[in-house]
């Protein structure tokens, strides 16, 4: 005979577990990600309601595919039209919103210029990303960064990856058009003799070439690399040249385990295993 007391305890534990398992609650808003409700190029009636949840959320069979929640194939289709145009080398703003900021974390933004095979870091935000705001969803989750000056023009994939102190991994992606740098202009030195010459007048010089930048960190997704939990925020082993320091409320700690391999998602959604190697 089943003891009713145990049954109730079991369901309490299960409920608590499900609640904690789906806590990642922020998503990229601008630039509008693939299949987001605010993406003007979305061709399906419904937008993806899960963009603010971590990749291992929402039950054993709802595991989201790395990269970009499985939406990378939308690049080059009507759904994947760019939602922002940014000049290489310009300062731009990205923003996130959601119903739970987890009192911070660490984020990276970057780009894939090879259709999702590799994602390289533009800027690393170590701690206080999202901004804590005492855990409230105050407006103002806007972050500035510089688009690498030497990224080639064209439509590329912008990515935002967030780790909170619950070892939750979320990644949203958006198609953006990188435009030629308008710092190119007509050089006065060339206007007197012959045809005006288009010349680079001013642009940020990059200390690390775009193609030599590190890849964005992928952890907490079953690949053997785990971010700190729960008393520290992530310090990136390879943050790249553009790093924004947080507020120092939590110590910054490097991830543990095998973090040398990047970009892999080792768990298999069909088996119901989560990102930490733990069956749900």
Ligand X SMILES: *[C@@H]1O[C@H](CO)[C@@H](O)[C@H](O)[C@H]1NC(C)=O
Query: Does residue 83 contact residue 111 with C-beta atoms inside 8 Å?
Result: no
Residue 263 in contact with residue 159, Cβ under 8 Å? no
From candidates 46, 195, 209, 260, binder to ligand X by CB under 6 A? 46
* 48 binds ligand X, rule: CB under 6 A: yes
What letter does residue 243 receive in the DSSP assignment? E
Stretch that binds ligand X, among 14-22, 41-49, 187-195, 263-271 (CB under 6 A): 41-49
- Is 233 a binding residue for ligand X by CB under 6 A? The answer is no
> Where does this chain touch ligand X (CB under 6 A) — which range of 44-52, 54-62, 149-157, 190-198?
44-52
Asked if 78 interacts with ligand X (CB under 6 A), we say: no
Q: Is 207 in the site for ligand X (CB under 6 A)?
A: no
Q: Select from 5-13, 45-53, 160-168, 233-241 the region that touches ligand X (CB under 6 A).
A: 45-53
Kindly state whether residue 44 participates in binding ligand X, applying the rule CB under 6 A. Answer: yes
Q: Should residue 35 be labelled a site residue for ligand X when binding is judged by CB under 6 A?
A: yes
Strand-pairing partners, residue 140, are none
Closest-CA residue to 35 (of 72, 65, 86, 64): 72
- 270 in contact with ligand X (CB under 6 A): no
**From CA 72, how far away is CA 28, in angstroms rounded?**
15
| Counts for the chain of helices (H) and strands (E), in that order | 1, 15
> Is the separation of the CB atoms in 116 and 75 below 8 Å?
yes
Binding stretches for ligand X (CB under 6 A): 35, 44, 46-48, 79, 93, 142, 144
């Amino acid at each position: 005979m089943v003891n009713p007391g145990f049954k109730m305890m079991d369901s309490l534990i299960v409920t608590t577990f499900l609640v904690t398992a789906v806590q990642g609650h922020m998503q990229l808003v601008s630039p509008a990600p693939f299949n987001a409700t605010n993406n003007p190029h979305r061709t399906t009636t419904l937008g993806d309601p899960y963009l603010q949840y971590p990749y291992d959320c929402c039950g054993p069979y709802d595991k989201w595919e790395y990269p970009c929640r499985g939406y990378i194939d939308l690049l080059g289709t009507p759904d994947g039209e760019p939602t922002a145009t940014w000049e290489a080398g310009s300062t731009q703003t990205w923003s996130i919103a959601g119903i739970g900021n987890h009192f911070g974390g660490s984020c990276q933004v970057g780009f894939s210029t090879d259709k999702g095979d590799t994602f390289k870091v533009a800027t690393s935000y170590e701690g206080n990303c999202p901004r804590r705001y005492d855990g409230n969803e105050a407006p103002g989750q806007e972050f500035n960064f510089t688009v690498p000056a030497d990224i080639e023009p064209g439509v590329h994939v912008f990515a935002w990856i967030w780790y909170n102190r619950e070892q939750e991994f979320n990644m949203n992606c958006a198609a953006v058009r990188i435009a030629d740098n308008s710092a190119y202009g007509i050089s006065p030195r060339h206007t007197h003799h012959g045809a005006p010459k288009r010349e680079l007048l001013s642009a940020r010089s990059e200390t690390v070439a775009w193609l030599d930048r590190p890849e964005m960190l992928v952890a907490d997704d079953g690949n053997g690399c785990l971010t700190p939990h729960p008393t520290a925020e992530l310090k990136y082993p390879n943050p790249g040249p553009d790093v924004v320091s947080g507020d120092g409320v939590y110590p910054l700690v490097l991830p543990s385990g095998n973090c040398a391999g990047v970009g892999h998602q080792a768990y298999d959604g069909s088996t119901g295993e989560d990102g930490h190697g733990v069956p749900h």
